[in-house]
Structure 1
């Protein structure tokens, strides 16, 4: 028997590309009760996302937003066009439909994409729809992959979708501290809402 039947449901942890998938699940599936989004996007990227008769087109990419560092590593943080521009709004996941709680975890030195901007936009969307079911946590010097504590920090690596070395950002110590704090926050978040 459950201690508190009102807290039953599914929780989702997402990072990077899985962020928009988690937001889509939270927006359309009623059993999702808690969604943790780590350095993700609020718009669909790379390929069309289908749900029943709805199709979210991928957010367009602009080569002009790519910076090649002296090392040859690409900084792709600003490669995606602005999802909030009218011509790109069809790519944005309708998170205002969701009834779950959100935890947006953001690294300010994410060089994979502009996670700070996407979290800000998610907050604005939810607030504009009268929602208070979200929290945003930021880490100033952390990079893109905030994984479980004590995983090695890697400031760059081969990006599967790009096929080249890209910058992920972050300073090793700050990134490690952020991973430990993120893990604690995730456990507290899911314990509270599930």
Structure 2
């Protein structure tokens, strides 16, 4: 009997949706290698592989069978997807057009040689970033430059503003996925996009306040509050918004610092100075990449540093997700300092925990925070 490669859901699924992978029609205990590959929108190839052994019935289910080596090892049902690495060194997988899918090719090869075995089965699967019924609405309202993603249905829906970090432009792939889980999500640009400033030299909170007002006035957004989601510099912007603006119910900070790094933060009569940095402390890692984790003037005074964002003023819960292998800045240290400040100023004891986080988990953590009631500090690898 010929081997067959089965995927569930078949044909297509959302990028953050679990994908079940199984093989049938193998010989009992047959050694095989599974490979996955996709090309991004600029033609860069991403690949992964893992070695497996069929069970006594000639079947293989990645939800029950541990990988014996390759790009990963152990029981990882979706390892073939999260472990894909680029052929181009240091190339990052980014979805730039959420209206088209990534096309993933999966193959089953005989034996444990990833490039030399006989092809036994093959399947093609589309991984989409917009679930059926999700609506994409470009926003050019006043100064606000953004894209609003609306879930299927009449609404109104709980609202979220999603802010990315250094690099500028407008990235939509996280906001589009959040919309499929019932959130009206605004992917917000703040520099180097259309007529926005080319450079970002000062955090003018007024611009982000305008985005909050846009969301709260939208007929499809359920008030009176919204949530904030930010990454890196975007996380610090979200923490600033939560500290100074009304109508923020909860905030998720992914690798934020709760400090102003290299830019002044300005809102009305308040200015928060940057920590500053010294490029002479940069190092070149063995891989050839510049390691800048030491260049910032890390706070000596901890949670009492005058350059810290006054996060204790935020009225809603805050979830800190801090990568322990972040070589841009000391995310775990900053999350701890932020937690200490919240505990000292709010008289609350934050919860904390550790986990090994692959990208599909990010969405579950984010969706849960708006139903929570406590301040959280969650650190992960």
In the superposition, the TM-score normalised over structure 2's length comes to 0.37
The equivalent of 2:333 in structure 1 is 117
Q: Are 1:178 and 2:358 counterparts?
A: yes
The equivalent of 2:317 in structure 1 is 101
Change in Cα spacing, 1:25 to 1:35, as seen in structure 2 (3 Å) is same
Change in Cα spacing, 1:13 to 1:138, as seen in structure 2 (3 Å) is farther
The equivalent of 1:163 in structure 2 is none
Q: Distance in 1 between matches of 2:269 and 2:259?
A: 18
**Of the two structures, which has the highest relative contact order with CA contacts closer than 8 Å and spacing of 6 or more?**
1
The equivalent of 1:54 in structure 2 is 270
User: What are the ranges of 5 or more consecutive residues in structure 1 without an aligned counterpart?
Assistant: 140-173
User: What are the ranges of 5 or more consecutive residues in structure 2 without an aligned counterpart?
Assistant: 1-154, 157-222, 374-381
Q: Distance in 2 between matches of 1:19 and 1:118?
A: 12
Q: Distance in 2 between matches of 1:27 and 1:98?
A: 4
Alignment partner of 1:189 out of 362, 366, 369: 369
Change in Cα spacing, 1:43 to 1:12, as seen in structure 2 (3 Å) is same
Q: How many residues are treated as equivalent by the alignment?
A: 155
The equivalent of 1:29 in structure 2 is 245
Deviates more, 1:29-38 or 1:56-65: 56-65
Q: Distance in 1 between matches of 2:279 and 2:317?
A: 35
1:131 Cα offset (Å): 4.4
Change in Cα spacing, 1:53 to 1:125, as seen in structure 2 (3 Å) is same
Q: Distance in 1 between matches of 2:277 and 2:299?
A: 11
The equivalent of 1:11 in structure 2 is 227
Q: Which has the larger radius of gyration?
A: 2
Q: Please state whether the residue corresponding to 1:12 is helix, strand or coil.
A: strand
For the aligned residue pairs, the C-alpha RMSD in angstroms reads 3.0
Q: Distance in 2 between matches of 1:127 and 1:65?
A: 32
The equivalent of 1:73 in structure 2 is 289
Alignment partner of 2:307 out of 71, 84, 91: 91
Q: Please state whether the residue corresponding to 2:227 is helix, strand or coil.
A: strand
Q: Distance in 2 between matches of 1:132 and 1:182?
A: 25
1:134 Cα offset (Å): 5.2
Question: Which has the larger share of strand?
Answer: 2
